[in-house]
Amino acid sequence: MSNGTPRTPWQNIPLLIDISNFQLRGLLEKMEVDRAIEALTSSELVRLQKFADFRVRGLGRAARGRTGADLLGEAVLRTLIGAEDTQRGRHWNKDVDFELHLKGAIRGISSCWRRHFKEKEAYLVSELPIHDAKGREQSPLDNVPQENSLTSSAHAAPDELLIEKEKEERVLTIFKDDPEAAQVVQGLLDKLKKDEIMSKYGLGEKQYAAAVRRIRVKLLGRRNGGSKE
Amino acid sequence: MADKENHDERLERLMNQLAESVLGLSDEAILAETIEAGFDPEQEAERTRLVLRQASKAFDNVNNRLSNLGHSINPHDWRSGQGSYHNNCLNCGSSVSFTTATGEMRGDALGGLCPESDQYTIRRRDPSR
């Protein structure tokens, strides 16, 4: 082109874009997701982080070492996968604000991790070949008491059950100097509703709210692993 | 109650209830709690934003890289496992994985152009030329 020959019109087209409507929609939605991430306020971000941290803590062994940050990352990823298809991933309906969408995604993904963990555990136990003293193959579930065999605890070895029990006791120990917080923790562990806890332990609305606040602050505080620095 | 019920489930219920309680907090309350827990809310917020950005960027990078190499993947087939996401080229079957936390990419698919691709790839010019 340096010989001064005039360009034909097609040579002036700087770029040919080979992209389907499907891909274009994905790209545009990704831009919207990126914009929504930048638009989140500090309080929304901190709320999302705490929400994800508690959800991961609730998973226990099922978290498999994953953190609240991993859960947040997965929520964004699932949103981007869902951006191109309303049937897959976590489609973001733009009528819902982004923070609310992410909360739903976090809730769904953590429940999914729990479910997969339970399925995997069941699979691993069934795959374990064990043999008796005479070399005959046995199922590891043969010796599990019937009343436990259909519960999720059927898949946890006795030492794992002990670890889980210790974790529960450790949480209660954190609040040994705060009777109201300990009562609320005990009530929530025992599947009691807010009104039932307040009634059982004689707590008023403000006392209950203050106790829940102290529990959150303490469990996600620096001393109890709240920092990932 | 604990005898009949798994301790795991009891703890999960407690933590999930605490998670839900966070959602009802006002902007001022959530920031005040963060300070009370010993953290700087602005730093915490920016760290969280970075996590979200990194996930988006990692997804973008892996898709662009695969596209430049002529690989074709089904964007809905990303499978998560052991902290990373896996997929395979629909044409040559080669694998690729990436992590959202670090953005690290791995797999045969990143080793070169897709041998099965009949796509005419237009490569970007090197700005130095």
What is the reported pLDDT for A221?
A: 82
Calculate the average pLDDT of chain B: 86
| C-alpha torsion angle, residues B22, B27, B33, B39 (rounded to 10) | 110
User: Tokens standing for B69?
Assistant: 């190499």
State mean pLDDT over B98-123: 80
Q: What's chain B's length in residues?
A: 129
Q: What is the pTM of this model?
A: 0.78
Tens digit of each residue's pLDDT (9 = 90 or more) over B50-93: 999 999 999 989 988 998 899 988 877 888 777 788 999 999 99
- What is the pLDDT confidence band of residue A53, given thresholds at 50, 70 and 90? very high
User: Is B11–A60 a contact, with Cβ atoms under 8 angstroms apart?
Assistant: yes
Higher local confidence (pLDDT), A39 or B101: A39
Nearest CA in chain A to B75: A81
What residue type is B58 in one-letter code?
A
Confidence class for position A1, pLDDT limits 50, 70, 90: very low
Does the distance separating the beta carbons of B53 and A37 come in below 8 Å?
yes
Distance from CA of A22 to the nearest CA of B (A): 11
What is the pLDDT at residue A15? 52
B111 to chain A nearest CA, in Å? 24
Q: With an 8 Å Cβ cutoff, are A33 and B25 in contact?
A: no
Q: What percent of chain B has pLDDT over 70?
A: 86
**Cβ contact A226–B39 (<8 Å):** yes
| Contact between chains at A37 and B49 (C-beta distance less than 8 A) | yes
Per-residue pLDDT of B35-56, as tens digits, reads: 999 999 999 999 999 999 999 9
| Residue contact A168–B48, C-beta within 8 A | no
Q: Beta strands of A44-189 (E only): which ranges?
A: 130-131, 137-138
User: What is the identity of the amino acid at A161?
Assistant: L
CB B17 within 8 A of CB A45: no
CA distance A146 to chain B (A): 12
Tokens at B87, concatenated? 């997929």
Distance (Å, rounded) from C-alpha A136 to C-alpha A143?
A: 15
Q: Which of B 13-42 lie inside 8 A of A, CB atoms?
A: 13-19, 21-23, 25, 27-28, 30-31, 33-34, 36-39, 41-42
Taking the C-alpha atoms of residue B77 and residue A199, their distance in angstroms, rounded to an integer, is: 50
Which distant-in-sequence residues (6+ apart) come within 8 Å of A22 by Cβ? Answer: A84
What pLDDT, in 10s, does the model give residues A67-104?
999 999 999 998 988 765 555 667 888 889 999 999 99
Q: Do the Cβ atoms of A46 and B36 come within 8 Å?
A: no
* Chain B residues inside the 8 Å CB shell of A50: 19, 22, 30, 33-34
pLDDT at B101 over 50: yes
- Residue B103: the pLDDT is 84
Q: Where do the domains of chain B lie?
A: 40-111
The dihedral of CA A71, A76, A77, A82: what is its sign? positive
Whether residues A152 and B83 touch (CB distance < 8 A) is answered with: no
Could you give the strand order of the β-sheet that contains B95-98, starting from the edge strand earlier in sequence?
B79-81, B84-88, B95-98, B105-106
Residues A153-164 have pLDDT tens digits of 445 566 766 777
Q: How far is CA B109 from CA A124, B64, B74, B94, B115, in A?
A: 31, 12, 14, 5, 10
- DSSP code string of B35-98: HHTT--HHHHHHHHHHHHHHHHHHHHHHHHHHHHTT----GGG-EEETTEEEEE-TTT--EEEE
Across the interface, whether the CB atoms of B14 and A16 are under 8 A apart is answered no
For residue A226, name the pLDDT band (cuts at 50, 70, 90): low
> Confidence band (pLDDT; 50, 70, 90) for B129?
very low
Distance CA A65, CA A61 (A): 8
Alpha-carbon gap: A133 to the closest alpha carbon of chain B (Å): 31
Cα separation, B10 vs A166, in Å, equals: 12
pLDDT in tens, A127-161: 444 445 554 555 444 554 444 333 344 455 667 66
DSSP A141: T
Residue type, A31: M
Q: Inter-axis angle of helices A179-189 and A194-201, to 10 degrees?
A: 130
In total, the C-beta contacts within 8 angstroms joining chain A to chain B are 192
- Using a CB–CB cutoff of 8 Å, tell me whether B113 touches chain A: no
Those residues whose C-beta lies under 8 Å from the C-beta of residue A221, and which sit 6 or more positions away, are B36, B37, B38
Our CA angle for A126, A129, A131, nearest 5°, is: 130
Q: Over pLDDT 70: what percentage of chain A? A: 66
